[in-house]
Structure 1
C-alpha cells in the first residue's frame, strides 16, 4: 500500500522484418530476416548504453535512466532455409519524453539508411515495419498533487515512491487530473508463476477505500 507519485512510461513494440527465402546453401541469394532482426537487436543494445549516459541529474527512478528490454526474437522455419520473416518484441521505459524521441529517431534512421538499403539491394520488396502495441506516458511527480495529499491523509504514510513500471495514471494527468498509484500487491510478485496479493494487503486496501468513501461523502 505504498503511495506512488511517479512512474516511467511504458512503450511496447513489435518490429517485423520481411526478407526473401531461399536455400541455406546459397545465403547471398536471399535476405535473411532473422539476421537483420539480430542486427536490430544489437542496435537496441547499443542504445541501452547510450541511455545510461542520458539519465537526468537527480533522477529518483531505479534505475535512473530510460531502459530498453528485448522480450523475444522469432523467425525462420528450418536449419537450411533462409528466413523470410522475423519479429522482435521489445519495450522501452522512458524517464523523460526526449529519450523516447531519441530512441525512435535513431532506429528509424538506422532502418532507413543502413538495414533497408542492404536488404533491398538483394530483394526490392524487403521491408521493416514497427507495430506500436502501447505508448503509455509516464506519471511525472509534481510539487502540487491533490491526490497525493488525500492518500497521505487516508493511509497515514508521509513518504511517497517512484517506480519503473507503468500504469494508466499518466493518462489521467494528461487530461488535467491529479493522480497517484496506491493499492495492494507488489511488483516483486508480478508477471511470474504463482503471482499473488496477500489477504492482509487486500484488507488494508478495503479499509482505505472505506475511509475514502467517508471523506467523499462528508
Structure 2
C-alpha cells in the first residue's frame, strides 16, 4: 500500500486517548501478517489498549526500532474545516487528526516494511529493523512503560530507537521532562453571608497557584538556562482549576493541576517540596477555623527528560542521515525519555511540524512524508549489505 493509503486507514481509526486503540492495532497485525511478519502485543490492565512490537530480520542481532504512538488528542470543541478522522488533501497537505502527530511517521514505517522483508529474505538485512507502536502517549507516556517491560521480559535485542514525533525531519537530541501534579484543597462550606464560619477552598487554592507562578517567574529570570532548548529554562504552569458549587456558598473543595517541564539534570521535585511547604503553612491558618481542612498533592503524570547518547549506534545513523545536523533540544516531551531510561538509546526524528500538532485542521505536508520515506530507505541501506 502507498503511504497516502496507509495514512488514510490509520487516521480513519479514532484513537483519541480516552478510547481503545485495538481496532488500529488489529489492522496493523493483519497488515504485517500479509508480509509474513509476526507481531507481539502487550496490553493495558483492562485489556482495552495494546502496544505492538514486530521485528524484521535476525532475533540474535540488536534491532533498530522505528517507534510511534497510536493515540491522538481530542477534537472536541475545535473548529475543523473537514472531517478530522478522514484524510483530506489540500494544497500539498494532508489534513486529519494525527497526520502530523504521529500517524504520518507510522504510515511511512509501514510502507517501508515490504522492502525490509524482501532484503531480509535475500539475506541482505544485516541489522534487523523493528516497529514499535504504543498507546496513551498523549496522557503521560503510559503505554510505552508496558512495551519496554515486555521487551525486557522477552529478551528482545534492541540497539536503539528512532521516535518519529514531528520534527520536520531534523534530529531532536534532548527534551525536557514533564510532570503533572493534582492539588486538592479541602476547606469548610458555609452560607456566603457567614463567610467567617467557612474556609474558602478556592481562595486558598488561588494562593497556592500564585505561589507556583512565583516559582516559575524565578526560574525564568534567574534559573538555569540552556541555549540548546527553544524555551531554555524550566517552566511551571497551572492548567486546570475546578471548585465551588454555587455563588452563594463558601466553597469546600477546589482542585487544580500544575505542570512542570524541567531540563535534563534538574531535580523537579524541589518545586513540589516548596509547594508542599507553602501548603503546610496555609493549613495552619485554615485549621484555626476548620480542623478537618486538608491539602493533598498527587503526581499523576511523569515523563522523564531525555538526552541522546552521542556515541550510540542509533545516534550515529541519524547523524549521518541528517547530514550531521547539530540537533536541537525542545520543551515538549516524547517517549524517547522512557526508552533512554530503560537503557535503549533513542533519537527523535519524524515528518511534519510540532506546531501543527493538537490543533484544528492538523496537517502534514506530502513533501515531508516523501522526505521521511526516502530517509527511511537510506536508513535501510545502512542496515543492509547487498548480496550478503
In the superposition, the TM-score normalised over structure 1's length comes to 0.90
User: Equivalents in 1 of 2:197, 2:362: separation in Å?
Assistant: 48
User: Equivalents in 2 of 1:192, 1:69: separation in Å?
Assistant: 20
**1:208 corresponds to 2:375:** yes
CA RMSD of aligned residues (A): 1.9
**1:121 corresponds to 2:288:** yes
User: Equivalents in 2 of 1:157, 1:186: separation in Å?
Assistant: 20
User: Equivalents in 2 of 1:46, 1:95: separation in Å?
Assistant: 18
Which one scores higher on RCO, CA 8 angstroms, separation ≥ 6?
1
Match of 1:164 in 2: 331
Count of equivalent residues: 216
Match of 2:224 in 1: 55
Per mean C-alpha deviation after superposition, the further-off stretch among 123-132 and 144-153 is 144-153
Relative to structure 1, is the Cα distance of residues 131 and 196 closer, same or farther in structure 2, using a 3 angstrom cutoff?
A: farther
User: Equivalents in 1 of 2:295, 2:223: separation in Å?
Assistant: 27
**Equivalent of 2:236 in 60, 65, 68:** 68
In the superposition, the TM-score normalised over structure 2's length comes to 0.52
After superposition, where does 1:26-65 map in structure 2 within 5 Å? Answer: 26-52=194-220, 53-56=222-225, 58-65=226-233
Match of 1:173 in 2: 340
Match of 1:19 in 2: 187
Match of 1:139 in 2: 306
Residues 49-75 of structure 1 show CA distances to partners (whole Å, capped at 9, x for unaligned) of 22121214x542222110012112221
User: Equivalents in 2 of 1:194, 1:14: separation in Å?
Assistant: 31
- The structure number with the bigger radius of gyration is 2
Please say if residues 66 and 99 of structure 1, whose CA atoms lie closer than 8 Å, have aligned partners that are also in contact.
no
User: Equivalents in 1 of 2:298, 2:380: separation in Å?
Assistant: 42
Please say if residues 351 and 368 of structure 2, whose CA atoms lie closer than 8 Å, have aligned partners that are also in contact.
yes
Please say if residues 3 and 148 of structure 1, whose CA atoms lie closer than 8 Å, have aligned partners that are also in contact.
no
**1:197 corresponds to 2:364:** yes
* 1:154 to partner: Cα distance: 2.6
User: Equivalents in 2 of 1:63, 1:186: separation in Å?
Assistant: 17
